[in-house]
Structure 1
Amino acid sequence: MKVLVAVKRVIDYNVKVRVKADNTDVDLTNVKMAMNPFDEIAVEEAVRLKESGVATEVVAVSMGGKECQEQIRTALALGADRGILVETDEKLGSLSVAKLLKALVDEEKPDLVILGKQAIDSDNNQTGQMLAALAGLPQGTFASEVSVADGKVAVTREVDGGLQTISLSLPAVLTVDLRLNEPRYASLPNIMKAKRKPLDTKTPADLGVTVESTVTTLKVEAPAERQAGIKVASVEELVEKLKNEAKVI
C-alpha cells in the first residue's frame, strides 16, 4: 500500500510573525521556517502505518520554491521513502494545491493520501476536502484515530458533538488532527540517510496544471495590541465599568 503525504513550509510556530512596513504581506526575511505542525502528524501516521506493515511506501510531497526541499528532507528523515517537489514561484492557494495533488494522485496511484487538517499560516482547512472532491475519493477529516484493514480505513474524527467513527473504502483522503499522535524527532543518522533518498522535482506544467492565483491580498495588518487588565475594588465598580466603559452590558 502506497501512502502520499503532503507537507507545507510555514513560519515556525515559535516565531513571532511580523508584517511588512508597506502592509503588503508577512515579512519572511531571516525568519525560521519549518514543516506545518499538522503535516508532521500526517507524516508520523504514514510512517507508523509503514512500521506496522500496513503501508509499503511513503511518498512526501511539497509545493513551492526550491527551499521546500528542506521540509521534504525532514519528512524523509522521519521515515518517508522518497520525495516529490512541485517547484513554482507562484503563491499557491488551496485550490491550486488541491489540483496539483490531484494530478500527483493520478500519477502515483496512492491508496491513502494524508494531509494536515490545516496550515498554521493560512488556516484555511480546505485543501484535503478540495482534493477529495476533485479526485472523487472518500474523505475523513479531523482524524484523531486511524485504523486500516481489509481494504478499508476506519477514521475516528472530532466533531462538535464529540467523536464520530466512519469507514472509508480505499483509496481515500484523510486530514489529521492534533490528537492523532505525537510526532517523533529525526535522529542524526536518519537525517544523514535522508540526504541520499530520492527527491524528484516537477513543475505545474509537467502535471498539466495552471496555478494562477484567483485571490488578491489587499492589505495585511497585525492584530491590535491588547490593553493591560485592571483590578476593581468591588462588584459594583466592575458592573459600572462593564456598562459604561466596555459597554458589554
Structure 2
Amino acid sequence: MRFFSFILFTALMYCSNLSAQYDQPVSVIIEGYKYSTGFDTSNYTTKLTVTSEGSIVDTRTYEGRLGRIEGFDLDNDGKTEVLIEYYSGGAHCCTTLEAYRMSGGKLAYLDSIFWRNGGYVVKDLNEDKMYEVVGDDDMFAYAFTSYAGSRSFLRIYDFAGDKFVDVTSQFRPLVMDEIRTLEKDLSEATKVPIDCSGDGFSTNAGEVKSILAAILGSYHSIGNTSMGYDLIEKTYSCPDKDQFVETLKNEFKLK
C-alpha cells in the first residue's frame, strides 16, 4: 500500500466513526493539565474544563461536539501545542482542528484548519522532528455530484510562527502519487461515454467532473495548475465545459 494511501485510509477510518467518537466524553492529561469534556444534549454544546492539581483553571463552551484532544510540539520549539478537534454537526460536515497553547494557566487560541468532513492525521512525514498535519481536502463534496461520488485531494500543513502553513507543494512525490490514483479513477469512469444529458449531477458526467476537479486541485497545490486544465480540455467535452471551468476558477479560486 502506498505511504499516503495508508495515512489517508487511517484518517478516513477515523472519520467514519465520528458519531461514535464524539458521543464519548474525553479526558486526557497534557503536561500536567487535565482536559475533560461534557456534552449537553439539551442545547448541543460541549463544555471543556481544564484542571490543574484538582483546581479548574479554564473552561470553554463549544457549539457542537469535541473529538480528539492531543498535545504535540508541532514545530519542535520546546512548546507544546494542544490540538482540539471540533465537530459542528450536520450531514458530512464539519470538522475543524484548533491549536492552542497554555499561557499563564489559560488556553490561548493560536490557529485552526477547517477540514469540512475530511479526515487527517498528525505525523512527521519527512523525519525532521517537526510534525505535519496531513489531510483530505473535500472542497468539491456535492459540487458536481453526490457526496459518495465526490473526490478529494491531499493537503499538508506545517506549524510555524504559531500558525498552520500549507506546505503541500513541498511534498510533490506524495501529490503526484495521488494524481496517478485519481487518473486511474478517471480512466475507469470514462470507460463508458460521458452522459451529458441534464445537469450531470446524477450521471457519470458529475463523477468525471469531480475526479477532474480533484486532479486540478492536486496540480494547483504544487504550482502546475495548467496541467489540470489541460486534462479537463482533453477529457471533458460536455456542453457545460466552459461553465465547469469558470466554476473552478471563480468559485474555487483555482487559477
Fold equivalence (TM over 0.5): no
- The structure in which a higher percent of residues are strand is 2
Q: Give me the TM-score of the superposition, normalised by structure 2.
A: 0.26
Q: Give me the TM-score of the superposition, normalised by structure 1.
A: 0.26
Q: Which has the larger radius of gyration?
A: 1
Higher RCO by CA contacts (8 Å cutoff, separation 6 or greater):
1
